[in-house]
Structure 1
């Protein structure tokens, strides 16, 4: 009455290799989708340039991805930062728009949201300290 365990048929090292292969496949697909997204997001490429890079990345994936990263990797990072800044600006504008659409609580057509945004801007530029920011914010919210 001998019982065989699954671990005997599939050693621990094989489990680690399988996990590594799975991780590398996921990483590869993530990189591939990131590059394809960047190709379509790039405004400095013409339509033919985008089609050429896309064909190269799909037909010869290893060479295409490496060539794209070498040729356009640095600008890829810049486009990511630019996209994040645009998204953040759009969210801030939406929040400011939504919060400012209520009844006017301040004098002169300014709302608390505008005042708080100006205070945050002054704090980011270093024109006022954290303590001054907190005091002014507390005055506005009272």
Structure 2
């Protein structure tokens, strides 16, 4: 579960995009994932860049897969090595163990987008990273922190 969460937070991928991911779509050398059209919500192929945290999560996951279900083609297989359809039960249990309430897997995607916006990344770049067809969809994902709003108004010249 930890590697799934790390990868989701580092890429902004949807749950089903990650659950459908097989090792042939992971390019460690060039640091990207290839998401095929049939696994994306908008039906368009997407290349997802990988940062060092995402690469680390994928390497750790590859090691886990080799130990627990060697030969599985899936990045996030079940214990049998076959593709799993849901993580909800395990995700909810993990959240409960650390005292997190009312948090959905999809909130990892919102967190990714919000972190980027808070770091000053353009909404258009975030839109492309999330695979949105419209900037209006991306705007719903980008939540500002109260501190960011305070910092923004402090930039105004004294009146």
Q: Place the TM-score, normalised by the shorter chain, in its bin.
A: under 0.3
Q: When you count helix as a share of all residues, which structure comes out higher?
A: 1
Q: When you count strand as a share of all residues, which structure comes out higher?
A: 2
Query: Which is bigger in relative contact order (C-alpha 8 A, separation at least 6)?
Result: 2
TM-score normalized by the length of structure 1: 0.26
Rg larger in structure: 1
